[in-house]
Amino acid sequence: MQPREKTHSHSHPVMTLKEKEKYIENFKFPFCDDSAKYEKVAKIGQGTFGEVFKAKEKANSKKLVAMKKVLMDNEKEGFPITALREIRILQRLKHENVVNLIEICHKRASQQNKCLSTFYLIFEFCEHDLAGLLSNINVKFNLGEIKKVMQQLLNGLYYIHSNKILHRDMKAANVLITKNGVLKLADFGLARAFSANKNGQPNRFTNRVVTLWYRPPELLLGERNYGPPVDLWGAGCIMAEMWTRSPIMQGNTEQQQLTLISQLCGSITPAVWPGVENLELYKQMELPQQQKRKVKDRLKPYMKDAYACDLLDKLLVLDPSKRADADTALNHDFFWTDPMPCDLGKMLAQHSQSMFEFLAPPRRSRTHHTMANQRPTTSAMQDSGYQDRVF
């Protein structure tokens, strides 16, 4: 709407690509700030579509942000659809327990980046991620604090699910916690909107989502018409991990993951899960028979609390239709009996940011993200520091 300097010659109003780049540079977009307003402090992660930096706002150096770069280099189809998805979803989701997308910034094209402009997603900075905290032996959660973590996590899930969004990548590394102890679900790069079976048509989502260790049995068996229960399985895995301190089922292959699940949750049969026999991969996969359900038995030594065991037992249910939803889980006695959920701030204060950054193991390399066909490879597992298995 505002007048601006013309960058083109009047006799040739059509701009060449070069001129266009120039036009972008000179045009003051009223709505998209320059990324130069932030100053990078450190690289803190490697995302699937670009690096993540910790940065501070130049105008207000107390304000810390995480800048997630959107790599456009090898994109045949322009701005990546995954980034668009994440942006659209995060714009819709505004909740205390969902990571806050502040804005999207733009970095001007320069000689160095071959005239390609870059975009950054700017997030509120979170000091910790749950995987980092759990792998730091100095960090100890008491029962009230664990309850607080799980309560916030389920609250976030309740919120996104009631807004018809599936996270689809639940894992400890995607659970961020601020220094004040507020939990934020992060990484909506795989998230998507769902609707209850549009005009009777079942959904056909990809089942190649969720990091293998947190992947629910229905996805492993090829279900494509899945829903919120996939995230609650992940929530269950994370819950157990609060005590075991490392992922409870670390399969190397889909087959192995199913075996581990059967060994913990009992055999996958039509008796406990009516309809499972119709899933695409049910006949292809080898499903251990005669396995007893041992969720409570095997986790009791770690969790001790009977309510905790009971809630976990309701989250790690094979049949997704019988798995507890976020609402049910939040109403479980676990959250309403002593010790009540309590603030995490105090405990986290002992593990100040500098402690975390210099003493704790680095945040997991994100390269073993197991979207699509990738699986966590042995080396990735070593990198991640998740070698010792609990089971």
Partner 1 sequence: MPCWYYDKKELRNTPSALDNIEYDTEMRYRKEGARFIIDTGSKMDLGYNTTATGVVYFHRFYMFHSFRQFPRYVTACCCLFLAGKVEETPKKCKDIIKTARSLLSDAKFATFGEDPKEEVMTLERILLQTIKFDLQVEHPYSYLIRYAKCLKGDKAKLQKMVQMAWTFVNDSLCTTLALQWEPEIIAVALMYLAGKLSQFEVIDWVGRVNKHLRWWDMFVEDVTMDLLEDICHQVLDLYSQPTPTTAPDSPPLLPRPAQTTQPSSSKTANGQEKEKPEVPEPNPPSVPAVSIPDVPTYPYPPSFTTTAPHASAYPPAYTNPPVVPPTHIAAPPPGPPPPHMAGPPPGVPFTPYVAPPHYPPVVATGPYYAPTPPSQPHRPYYPPPS
Q: Is the dihedral of CA 324, 327, 328, 331 positive or negative?
A: positive
Q: Which of partner 1, ligand ATP, none has residue 94 at its interface (CB below 5 to 8 Å by kind)?
A: partner 1
Residue 338 among the catalytic residues: no
Q: Which of 207, 221, 204, 184 is nearest to 101 (CA)?
A: 184
Q: Which of 93, 106, 70 is nearest to 167 (CA)?
A: 93
Q: Which of partner 1, ligand ATP, none has residue 129 at its interface (CB below 5 to 8 Å by kind)?
A: ligand ATP
Interface with ligand ATP (CB under 6 A): 44-45, 47-49, 52, 66, 68, 99, 123-126, 129, 174, 176, 186-187, 189, 363, 366, 369
Residue nearest to ligand ATP according to CB distances in the complex: 47
Please give the residues from 108 up to 127 whose contact with partner 1 meets the rule CB under 8 A: 117, 119
| Part in contact with partner 1 (CB under 8 A); list of ranges 136-144, 178-186, 301-309, 323-331 | 323-331
Q: Is 382 in the site for partner 1 (CB under 8 A)?
A: no
Catalytic residue among 33, 34, 73, 169: 169
- The rounded distance, in Å, linking the Cα atoms of 166 and 147 is 23
Q: Is 388 in the site for partner 1 (CB under 8 A)?
A: no
Q: If 0-12 CB within 10 Å is exposed, 13-18 middle and 19+ buried, where does residue 6 land?
A: exposed
Nearer to partner 1, 92 or 294 (CB): 92
Give the x-and-dash track for 266-295 against partner 1 (CB under 8 A). Answer: ------------------------------
| Shortest distance (Å) from residue 212 CB to partner 1 | 25
DSSP 178-189: -TTS-EEE---S
Q: Is the dihedral of CA 161, 163, 168, 172 positive or negative?
A: negative
Q: Which residues pair with 265 in a beta bridge?
A: 293
Choice from 23, 141, 302, 307 touching partner 1 (CB under 8 A):
23
Q: Which of 138, 208, 177, 150 is nearest to 371 (CA)?
A: 208
Nearer to partner 1, 70 or 268 (CB): 70
Choice from 5, 73, 77, 388 touching partner 1 (CB under 8 A):
77
Choice from 48, 100, 136, 163 touching partner 1 (CB under 8 A):
163
Cβ neighbours of residue 182 closer than 8 Å, sequence gap 6 or more? 96, 97, 152
| Part in contact with partner 1 (CB under 8 A); list of ranges 24-32, 36-44, 123-131, 342-350 | 24-32
Q: Which of 120, 121, 124 is nearest to 56 (CA)?
A: 124
- The CA-atom distances, in angstroms, between 20 and each of 54, 77, 108, 329 are 31, 19, 13, 54
- DSSP state, 386? -
The annotation status of 68 as a binding-site residue, yes or no, is yes
Nearer to ligand ATP, 86 or 325 (CB): 86
Nearer to ligand ATP, 123 or 205 (CB): 123
- The rounded distance, in Å, linking the Cα atoms of 319 and 377 is 28
Helix axis angle, 295-303 relative to 229-244, nearest 10°?
A: 40
Instruction: Phi first, then psi: give them for residue 39, nearest 5 degrees.
Output: -115, 120
Q: Is the dihedral of CA 19, 22, 28, 29 positive or negative?
A: positive
Please give the residues from 238 up to 257 whose contact with partner 1 meets the rule CB under 8 A: none
Q: Which of ligand ATP, partner 1, none has residue 301 at its interface (CB below 5 to 8 Å by kind)?
A: none
- The rounded distance, in Å, linking the Cα atoms of 266 and 272 is 9
| Part in contact with partner 1 (CB under 8 A); list of ranges 7-15, 213-221, 241-249, 287-295 | 7-15
| Shortest distance (Å) from residue 86 CB to partner 1 | 11
- The CA-atom distances, in angstroms, between 113 and each of 37, 81, 177, 225, 349 are 19, 21, 34, 42, 40
Q: Is 306 in the site for partner 1 (CB under 8 A)?
A: no
Nearer to partner 1, 340 or 359 (CB): 340
Question: Which residues are annotated binding-site positions?
Answer: 68
Question: Which residues are annotated binding-site positions for ATP?
Answer: 68
**Catalytic residue numbers, as ranges:** 169
Q: Which residues bind partner 1 (CB under 8 A)?
A: 1, 3, 8, 10-17, 20-21, 23-24, 27, 29-32, 76-79, 81, 84, 87-88, 91-95, 97, 104, 106, 117, 119, 155, 158-159, 162-163, 192-193, 198-199, 327, 330-331, 335-338, 340
